[in-house]
Structure 1
Amino acid sequence: MVKIFDTTLRDGEQTPGVSLTPEEKLIIARQLDKLGVNVIEAGFPVSSKGEFESVRAIANEGLTATVCGLSRIIKNDIDRCLDADVGMVHVFVSTSDIQIAHTIKKSREEIVADSIKAVEYVKDHGVLCLFSAMDATRTPPAFLREIFTAVEGAGADIINIPDTVGVMAPSAFHRLVKEVCSYMNILVDVHCHNDFGLAVANSLAAVEAGAREVQVTVNGLGERAGNANLAETVMSLHSIYGAKTSIRTQYLVETARLVERLTETRIPINAPIVGDNAFSHESGIHSHGVIERSDTFEPGIMTPEMVGHRRRIVLGKHTGRHAVKKVLEEAGYHPTEDQLQEILRRIKELGDKGKQVTDADLQTIAEVVLGEIAKGEQALVLKEVAVMTGNTITPTATVRALFRGEEKVLANIGVGPVDAAVKAVREILGQDSLIRVRDFRIEAITGGSDALAEVVIGVEDTEGRKVSARSAREDIVMASVEALVSAINRLLLLEERTSK
């Protein structure tokens, strides 16, 4: 069993530009507990009053996971962790020559003595103690052994080997961890940074070498290039190494998207495991293969269902007829072979122009080719949009539309006119407002101040069905609303057809 120590709320929040409110940190902590992590490092209590209150709230939430607070080897730091009611105190000190010389400026003897006192103080208060030798991978091995054995003797429960600046190659880290495990009798933990993109590889190498706890963050957040990515580390352990963790993997995508939303740090579309494209296929050969059998062009040992994702066939210039037929049938269209070839030709023509082929594009093409344009099937019909904005006016949008035959007029405010208009449209949907915007892109496709803007919007329902649509206008607000309405209509129609 490999334990998962999550530091999203501590090291992850140190991501430049990320700052979470206490309420947001509590929401993430609950989700991490639902996910099944063993330890939640909730923060650095001594750093601010708000941080202290946040850590204490999480510690008193009654979570299954152990809640941990970070502390230097300083009594006041430790006291703030203890006052926050944490179940584990994570004490750390710099041990590399460069950090000793330029940060704490103490002798090695003083560092060892202070570390022993800190660990003993934590243990005297009856909580778990994790000790980190910061910058361990640039610390002389003899000194690393000296301080690790000293804190073990003082009662530390876990020692952590941090690759603080992310400079270790996996083979070298394997050797280091194996050596440390050979002389330690307590749990060995690792904390890997991603400066060279090796944080996950180093974490896995450490497990191979004997470490039984890894520190990770959701979406790989953290200082500089971040930390070892939770989803990538866990799924590699489960699917490649056959190792066990306590993680409920079906919540990985759900957790990643929650953290993405609260930190406002986008997940790259090609991110492994949780990215939108992780189980998406456009190439004709690939699409044909996964339609016949998913493990032809997917790992097989990891499926989208295992992580809470969905497989998606994406249309474009590389698409083959099998993929188009599959997507059309799922949407309720049944073209003849000749009609299918014509639809495919038009899709490729659109793709050759550098355009993303949206679901609305496919619907329009299919309905034109099949001769069944169905305007009457639109659940939401846009009638009028009006916006107010300015230096002293909160951006406000009023939308008039027919929804399922009933005229509605609703207004809303937002951070800008587009945001306000989108919110007003979603409010018109009422109970159907569970449909959420997953993708929003604006591109100027002509020059000048009156440039034609193309807006592509993707929406998703609670079942994970995704639909996208586009609109192009000189008015960005109108283009955004039209694209959103088109996508919503497409999704509602898809829901109706698939439920029959």
Structure 2
Amino acid sequence: MNSIPESDRVVVFDTTLRDGEQSPGCSMNLEEKIRVAKALEDMGVDVIEAGFPIASEGDFEAVREVANVIKNTTVCGLARATRGDIDRCAEAVANAPRKRIHTFISTSPLHMKYKLQMEPEKVLEMVTSSVTHARNLVDDVEWSAEDGSRTEHDFLCRCVEAAIDAGAGTINIPDTVGYAIPDEFSSLIRMLYDRVPNIDKAIISVHCHNDLGLAVANSLAAVGAGARQIECTINGIGERAGNAAMEEVVMALRTRHDHMPYVTGVETTQITKASRLLSSITGFNVQPNKAIVGANAFAHESGIHQDGMLKNAETYEIMTPESVGLTKSTLVLGKHSGRAAFKDKLRELGYDMGDNSVNDAFKRFKDLADRKKEVFDEDIIAIVDDEVVRTNDRVKLVAMEIKCGTKHNPPVAALELEVDGQMRSTVGSGDGPVDAVFKCIKEMIPTQARLQLYQVHAVTGGTDAQAEVTVRLEEDGKSVNGQGADTDTMVASAKAYLNALNKLFVKREKSKPEAVAV
């Protein structure tokens, strides 16, 4: 990438681990965050915003550990415009070979009056003091004008100029509430280039939310106006309607290079792998018609489309499935396949696992192969993801038996769980088999958590397909998603509920500070 002029290169700033984790129900433990961070580094993402260190001890440890393991990508932490936030952030990213502090303050009249309760001159003073302090701690500082798209132009120009003078190398203009439309947002960026005298000393960044479904469009419009950093997330996850989807931004720039002659450093063949990894960790399944990574993104059912595809794929495909790392689902292994073949398949699918993890996954594969006629790549992915996300669970399913049907009304479930190393068991009934299972779990693990979502989908086709179940629990305003996979839908349901409970235990330890919505 060194031969590419800086004026043509768009920096990809991924905030999956920070803004993405603010999605209701999305909670990642330390090990999961490290896996996502490594996947982002493998993709060639330029900046990883690893978290908000002041938020909690857990967030601080996560940012620090990402800083310890990531070597080739800039590791960034978020901080409000206070010395305490900035000092904590600097401490968290200290060990990263490339580190950045991202500090922000609200600049719109609405936010200054009601959120900050500050006069504009005080806000301007804090812009200078916060950036100056951050710049004394690290070489790479980014400053954001929260609610930038609704900020008065004169005041925004003054703040941007002050931040650059104080040492900010990147200036981020967020569309915090997803209010802007593309021509309006691009005009805002051009206005800054026209009016801020020192604008050439910084990279202009944009951080767009998707409340009106325009996050990617706004981001690309901003690039056309001169912005050279886009802040985004895998699968577009994030607060409310989410953020600009990284895969859509990257593939739009690659596919329409004729109209947008800019490049990124992202290895696009890693996109599908990263998307699936995040879905398995968070339980946020990608909708089938999602651009780039949805199950139907490269599917053609219409007869006219199929005829065109057979004659020339370019008739209905503007990019190839291979360009985003999508491979055709193939029958790969069976019950007679050995450990070596299974290990080779794991490597082919992008998994780098230790011997113990391989052995556990192989055992589950053999069990699945005994029950399922055909084992596909998607089945193995589901097995491995289901195995890995449960490594550090405090509560584990040991055994389960259900009696249901016309002769068993109401259905009865018998469960045995391991809770913090101790065995517990109970028998209970419910309105249906799933209700019976969940009531048994709640009896053994008392909780006020309410079930908000229960959904099931098949990993592959056929009546013997693995079921992948997603469960969302809510407690005291905190919601988490859990996921489980098994050929037995009831087993998958129990796993998903327990996975959600384990994530809720992690969530209980976090105490989020004043609302952050950059």
Could you tell me the TM-score, scaled by structure 2's length?
A: 0.64
1:298 to 301, 311, 317: 317
- Could you say what secondary structure the match of 2:269 adopts? helix
- Provide the C-alpha distance between the structure 1 equivalents of 2:487 and 2:297, rounded to a whole number of angstroms: 27
Which residue identity does 1:125 align to in structure 2? Answer: L
Q: Which residue of 2 aligns with 1:470?
A: 463
Q: Which residue of 2 aligns with 1:23?
A: 31
How much does 1:112 deviate? Answer: 0.8
Residues 305-353 of structure 1: CA deviation (Å, up to 9, x unaligned):
11111468xxxxxxxxxxxxxxxxx99xxxxxxxxxxxxxxxxxxxxxx
Which residue identity does 1:117 align to in structure 2? Answer: S
Question: In structure 2, do the counterparts of structure 1 residues 249 and 118 end up closer, same or farther at CA, with 3 Å as the change threshold?
Answer: same
Q: Which residue of 1 aligns with 2:475?
A: none
Is residue 426 from structure 1 mapped to residue 368 from structure 2 by the alignment?
Answer: yes
How much does 1:458 deviate? Answer: 3.5
Is residue 436 from structure 1 mapped to residue 380 from structure 2 by the alignment?
Answer: yes
Q: Which residue of 1 aligns with 2:14?
A: 6
Q: Which residue of 1 aligns with 2:46?
A: 38
C-alpha contact (below 8 Å) 1:37/1:65 kept by paired residues:
yes
* Equivalent residue runs for 1:60-75 within 5 Å: 60-75=68-83
Question: In structure 2, do the counterparts of structure 1 residues 169 and 143 end up closer, same or farther at CA, with 3 Å as the change threshold?
Answer: same
Q: Which residue of 2 aligns with 1:234?
A: 250
Is residue 48 from structure 1 mapped to residue 81 from structure 2 by the alignment?
Answer: no
Question: In structure 2, do the counterparts of structure 1 residues 82 and 289 end up closer, same or farther at CA, with 3 Å as the change threshold?
Answer: same
Which residue identity does 2:190 align to in structure 1? Answer: K
Question: In structure 2, do the counterparts of structure 1 residues 297 and 427 end up closer, same or farther at CA, with 3 Å as the change threshold?
Answer: closer
- Provide the C-alpha distance between the structure 2 equivalents of 1:167 and 1:95, rounded to a whole number of angstroms: 15
C-alpha contact (below 8 Å) 2:131/2:141 kept by paired residues:
yes
* Equivalent residue runs for 1:353-432 within 5 Å: 425-426=367-368
How much does 1:107 deviate? Answer: 1.1
Question: In structure 2, do the counterparts of structure 1 residues 47 and 194 end up closer, same or farther at CA, with 3 Å as the change threshold?
Answer: same
Tell which has more relative contact order, 1 or 2 (C-alpha 8 A, sep 6+): 2
Q: Which residue of 1 aligns with 2:205?
A: 189
Which residue identity does 1:458 align to in structure 2? Answer: V
C-alpha contact (below 8 Å) 1:181/1:188 kept by paired residues:
no
RMSD: 3.3
* Equivalent residue runs for 1:230-309 within 5 Å: 230-240=246-256, 241-299=260-318, 302-309=319-326
How much does 1:449 deviate? Answer: 7.8
- Could you say what secondary structure the match of 1:151 adopts? helix
- Provide the C-alpha distance between the structure 2 equivalents of 1:303 and 1:234, rounded to a whole number of angstroms: 14
Which residue identity does 2:305 align to in structure 1? Answer: H
- Provide the C-alpha distance between the structure 1 equivalents of 2:457 and 2:25, rounded to a whole number of angstroms: 26
2:240 to 217, 221, 224: 224
Residues 95-139 of structure 1: CA deviation (Å, up to 9, x unaligned):
111111111111111111111011111111233110000001111
Give the number of aligned pairs.
359
Question: In structure 2, do the counterparts of structure 1 residues 251 and 142 end up closer, same or farther at CA, with 3 Å as the change threshold?
Answer: same
Question: In structure 2, do the counterparts of structure 1 residues 433 and 229 end up closer, same or farther at CA, with 3 Å as the change threshold?
Answer: closer
C-alpha contact (below 8 Å) 1:457/1:470 kept by paired residues:
no
Question: In structure 2, do the counterparts of structure 1 residues 292 and 81 end up closer, same or farther at CA, with 3 Å as the change threshold?
Answer: same
Which residue identity does 2:380 align to in structure 1? Answer: R
2:224 to 199, 208, 217: 208
- Could you say what secondary structure the match of 1:255 adopts? helix
- Provide the C-alpha distance between the structure 2 equivalents of 1:126 and 1:294, rounded to a whole number of angstroms: 50
Question: In structure 2, do the counterparts of structure 1 residues 250 and 40 end up closer, same or farther at CA, with 3 Å as the change threshold?
Answer: same
* Equivalent residue runs for 1:304-383 within 5 Å: 304-310=321-327
- Provide the C-alpha distance between the structure 1 equivalents of 2:56 and 2:315, rounded to a whole number of angstroms: 52
Stretch of structure 1 that moved more, 241-250 or 186-195: 241-250
How much does 1:379 deviate? Answer: 5.9
Percentage of identical aligned residues: 40
Is residue 109 from structure 1 mapped to residue 121 from structure 2 by the alignment?
Answer: yes
Q: Which residue of 2 aligns with 1:123?
A: 135
Q: Which residue of 2 aligns with 1:383?
A: none
How much does 1:285 deviate? Answer: 1.5
Question: In structure 2, do the counterparts of structure 1 residues 379 and 122 end up closer, same or farther at CA, with 3 Å as the change threshold?
Answer: closer
Question: In structure 2, do the counterparts of structure 1 residues 428 and 29 end up closer, same or farther at CA, with 3 Å as the change threshold?
Answer: same
Residues 373-417 of structure 1: CA deviation (Å, up to 9, x unaligned):
xxxxx966xxxxxxxxxxxxxxxxxxxxxx68xxxxxxxxxxxxx
- Could you say what secondary structure the match of 1:60 adopts? helix
- Provide the C-alpha distance between the structure 2 equivalents of 1:205 and 1:12, rounded to a whole number of angstroms: 22
Q: Which residue of 1 aligns with 2:393?
A: none
Question: In structure 2, do the counterparts of structure 1 residues 456 and 226 end up closer, same or farther at CA, with 3 Å as the change threshold?
Answer: closer
- Provide the C-alpha distance between the structure 1 equivalents of 2:433 and 2:22, rounded to a whole number of angstroms: 39
C-alpha contact (below 8 Å) 2:365/2:380 kept by paired residues:
no
- Provide the C-alpha distance between the structure 1 equivalents of 2:410 and 2:325, rounded to a whole number of angstroms: 44
Q: Which residue of 2 aligns with 1:387?
A: none
- Could you say what secondary structure the match of 1:101 adopts? helix
Which residue identity does 1:306 align to in structure 2? Answer: S
- Could you say what secondary structure the match of 1:224 adopts? coil
How much does 1:91 deviate? Answer: 0.4
- Provide the C-alpha distance between the structure 2 equivalents of 1:178 and 1:171, rounded to a whole number of angstroms: 11
C-alpha contact (below 8 Å) 2:16/2:49 kept by paired residues:
yes
- Could you say what secondary structure the match of 1:470 adopts? coil
Q: Which residue of 1 aligns with 2:414?
A: none
How much does 1:425 deviate? Answer: 2.8
Q: Which residue of 1 aligns with 2:214?
A: 198
C-alpha contact (below 8 Å) 2:334/2:369 kept by paired residues:
no
Which residue identity does 2:295 align to in structure 1? Answer: D
Is residue 138 from structure 1 mapped to residue 150 from structure 2 by the alignment?
Answer: yes
C-alpha contact (below 8 Å) 2:124/2:159 kept by paired residues:
yes
How much does 1:62 deviate? Answer: 3.7
- Provide the C-alpha distance between the structure 2 equivalents of 1:427 and 1:58, rounded to a whole number of angstroms: 37
Q: Which residue of 2 aligns with 1:395?
A: none
2:179 to 157, 167, 180: 167
